[in-house]
């Protein structure tokens, strides 16, 4: 009898504990991925600013941000590449991003054309 009560209480506690996890997973699955395209105005190790639709949009970049473009697979063979390794001011990019509590997080940055300006 004690064992049955212990098992029943364990099931109830696990069900209650799993609810916040399920709600968080559902919110993450429903977060909308958006895109923005334009020239890069500024780039640093933690952010990327793109002029899109006549306004500047600043995106947070981190270790999970993926950079795609000509020659980047060769650079990434030597190790993880950062935003400053992949993108330069004036490059045209398309950024796939999602809103993370008011901060735009860049999930994928595709370099569509490199800047022709001399460095």
Query: Do 13 and 44 reside in the same domain of the chain?
Result: no
Query: Do 87 and 105 reside in the same domain of the chain?
Result: yes
**pLDDT exceeds 90 at position 26:** no
Query: Do 16 and 2 reside in the same domain of the chain?
Result: yes
Q: Is 119 within the bounds of a domain? A: no
Domain enclosing residue 62, as ranges? 34-113
Segment 42-62, tens digit of pLDDT: 999 999 999 999 999 999 999
Segment 92-105, tens digit of pLDDT: 999 999 998 889 99
Query: Do 41 and 25 reside in the same domain of the chain?
Result: no
CATH number of the domain residue 85 falls in: 2.40.50.320
Query: Do 4 and 24 reside in the same domain of the chain?
Result: yes
Size of the chain, expressed as the number of residues it contains: 119
pLDDT grade, residue 1 (50/70/90)? confident
| Nearest Cα residue to 95 out of 14, 40, 54 | 40
């Amino acid at each position: 009898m004690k064992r049955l009560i212990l098992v029943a209480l364990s099931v109830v506690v696990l069900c209650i504990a799993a609810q916040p996890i399920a709600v968080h997973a559902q919110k993450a699955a429903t977060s909308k991925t958006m895109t923005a395209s334009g020239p890069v105005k500024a780039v640093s190790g933690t952010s990327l600013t793109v002029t899109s639709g006549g306004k500047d949009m600043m995106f947070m970049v981190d270790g999970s941000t993926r950079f795609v473009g000509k020659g980047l697979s060769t650079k990434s063979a030597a190790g993880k590449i950062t935003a400053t390794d992949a993108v330069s001011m004036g490059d045209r990019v398309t950024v796939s991003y999602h809103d993370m509590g008011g901060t735009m997080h860049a999930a994928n940055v595709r370099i569509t054309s490199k800047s022709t300006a001399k460095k």
